[in-house]
Each structure stands twice: as structure tokens, then as C-alpha cells.
Structure 1
Amino acid sequence: MYKFSYEETLSESGSRQRENERLAIEQSVALLRTAEKAGPQSREAIDAIFFLNRLWSFFLDDLAKPENGLPDEVRAGLISIGIWMLKEADAISKGNSRNFAGLIDVSNVIAEGL
């Protein structure tokens, strides 16, 4: 019978979680690219912004928890990025911006870091 140590299990769980986060960000990027082509007032843009808002709301909620294991400086940086992402997405949905490229670029950088 093969037994995993608690530390190994946690390490694998963390790797799986980062992979899931990366996949979710990649899905967001795909939606944003489609929305960029369709235009800021398209159904594709609405879907992309909705997905991005849900994703970053989830990330921000997790980052704000005291039990989040990331160093404070990294958490603060990601929280700042998340707030910018949500504000930029809101500006697009209100017709005040077309900065899909900025959202895509930042998302790609975050995904690469995972």
C-alpha cells in the first residue's frame, strides 16, 4: 500500500489549484480575444466581462483571506492587479474603454506566473 505524506498531498493539491487557476485565466483570455474582435457592445463582450468579473472576484476573495499562503507583498500586488482588472472591465462595459488588449496582456502575464 502506497502512502502519501500530508506535505506531499498539500503540495500536489496546490499544484492542481494553480493549474486550475491558469486554465481559468486562459479561458478568460480566449473570451476576451473573441470579444475584442466582436466589439465592446457585443454579446461576446458581455460574456467575457461577466466571466472576468466572476474570476477576479473569486481571486480577490481568496487573496483577502488571512489563511492565504502567499507572502503579503505578492498578495498586495495581485489585489492591486485584480482591482485594476475589474475597473477596466467596468469601463469597457460602460463604453468608456476598448482596452481588451490590456486585460489580455495582464492575464497572460499572470497565467505565465502560475
Structure 2
Amino acid sequence: MYRFSYSEILEDAPETGREREREAFDRALGLLRDVEARGLRGAERTAAVGLVQDLWNVLIADLLSPDNALPEGLRDDLVSIGLWTMREVGEVLSAPERSLAALIEVNTSIREGLR
């Protein structure tokens, strides 16, 4: 599992940081897609959704940091997407029959934006 602090990403060149973000999204999306395709419930589903939640916890904290150099409007938009993701994670965890399609679609769009 990918575990790194956002400060480690920021210490690297911006290209390396974006690559690590893409890798984290790729890992989370791979797990979500697998769980959705196989109709998994229980611990595997919780772990996949939890990884997305962990990723967005890190991203939101960084986006809210006064040291974040992204334009304010972009930061605000990304925080809004992150907060939606966190709400959707809560819904998915409380309703095991709920599809992961929305989480997959939104996070795929964000991942593609890291190009």
C-alpha cells in the first residue's frame, strides 16, 4: 500500500510530486474498480473506500495549508470535490449495496487532471 506524507511529496520536484499523487490515485482507483467489478462487501470494500478517504484527508489538509501555492479558486474547487468524496465515502460505508461508480468517476477525473 502506498504510504507517504504530503511533505515528502512537496520536498521532491513538482513533477515527482504529481507522479506520486497519480500513483496514489491509481492504487485507490484500482482497488475501487476491483471491489465494484467483483461485487465485494466487507473488509475488502471497506479497505478500498478507506484508502480513498485517507488520500483525500491528506489532500484536503494540504489544500487548506497557507503554504499551498495553487490558485485560491482551484484550491476551493478541489476542497469541495474532496468534501463531496468524504460524504460519498460515508454513504458507501453505511450502505454496502451502494455502487462505487460515482467515487470511481470523480476520482478518475481528478487523477486525469494531474497530467
TM over 0.5: yes
Aligned to 1:17: 17
How many residues get paired?
104
| Counterpart Cα distance in 1 of 2:64 and 2:40 | 30
Shift of 1:40: 6.2
TM-score, normalisation: structure 2: 0.83
Task: Select between 12-21 and 76-85 the one with higher mean Cα deviation.
Answer: 12-21
Bigger Cα Rg = 1
Contact kept? 1:22, 1:111, Cα under 8 Å: yes
Aligned to 1:65: 65
Shift of 1:44: 1.7
Contact kept? 1:41, 1:95, Cα under 8 Å: no
Shift of 1:99: 3.3
| Counterpart Cα distance in 1 of 2:53 and 2:40 | 15
Shift of 1:43: 2.1
1:34 corresponds to 2:34: yes
Contact kept? 1:32, 1:100, Cα under 8 Å: yes
Shift of 1:108: 1.0
Q: Relative to structure 1, is the Cα distance of residues 107 and 26 closer, same or farther in structure 2, using a 3 angstrom cutoff? A: same
Shift of 1:97: 6.3
Contact kept? 2:24, 2:55, Cα under 8 Å: yes
Shift of 1:35: 1.6
Q: Relative to structure 1, is the Cα distance of residues 97 and 58 closer, same or farther in structure 2, using a 3 angstrom cutoff? A: farther
Q: After the TM superposition, which segments of 4 or more aligned residues of structure 1 sit over 6 Å from their partners? A: none
Aligned to 1:52: 52
Q: What is the aligned-residue RMSD (CA, Å)?
A: 1.8
| Counterpart Cα distance in 1 of 2:78 and 2:24 | 16
Q: Percent identity?
A: 36
Tell me which amino acid in the other structure corresponds to 1:93: L
Q: Which sections of structure 2, spanning at least 5 residues, go unmatched?
A: 1-9
Contact kept? 1:35, 1:44, Cα under 8 Å: yes
